[in-house]
Amino acid sequence: MNVYIKREYDYAIRIIVHLAEMDKNTVVPLSRISERLFITRPFANKIVHQLRRNDIIGSVQGKKGGIYLKADPELLSILDILRALNFDSTINECLKTADFCPFSGNCKVHDFYLKQEDLLLNNMAEKKIVELTNNPKH
C-alpha cells in the first residue's frame, strides 16, 4: 500500500514537536529522542541530517551535545517540515504529470483531486508545530 505521509515524515514531525516542547534552545541528546519516540538511532540520524541541512534544527557536538529547535514553532508548519524532507507526494498522478491523463479539457475527476490536494496542503501549511505540542514553552 502506498502512503501519503511516509514514516520518515511522521518521525520528523514528531522530533520537531518533541523539541518544541522543551525550553527554547534546549539541547537534547539524539539517543534520548530515539528512545522516547521509538526511532532507531540510524533512522533518527538520517532525519536529523535533513532537518539540520534545512536550518530547522541545530546541533551541538561533544559530550553534552545533541539537537535543538532553531525554527520558531509558532511559524514552522507541518508542510515546512515535509518539504525539508523532500516531500513529493500527490493524490493522483494526473496532478503531477501533465501528459499522464488521456482526458483533456474539463475533467471533473481531475478537478476533485486537485481540490482535495489543495485542501490537504493548505491545512498542513496552516498547522503550526506549536499547536501540536502538549505543553508549549514558546
Q: Which fold is adopted by the domain 7-132?
A: Arc Repressor Mutant, subunit A (1.10.10)
Indicate the range of 76-80, 90-94, 100-104, 123-127 predicted with least confidence: 100-104
Q: With helix as H, strand as E and coil as C, how does 34-94 read?
A: HHHHCCCHHHHHHHHHHHHHCCCEEEECCCCCEEEECCCCCCCEHHHHHHHCCCCCCCCHH
Residues 16-58: tens digit of each pLDDT: 999 999 988 899 999 999 999 999 999 999 999 999 999 999 9
Q: Provide the residue ranges of all domains of the chain, joining segments of one domain with +.
A: 7-132
Query: 109: pLDDT confidence band, cut at 50, 70 and 90?
Result: confident
pLDDT digits (tens, 9 = 90+) for 64-94: 889 999 999 999 999 999 999 998 877 777 7
Nearest to 9 by CA among 69, 86, 66, 91: 86
In this model, does residue 96 exceed pLDDT 90? no
Q: Cβ contacts of residue 103 below 8 Å, gap of 6+?
A: 109, 110
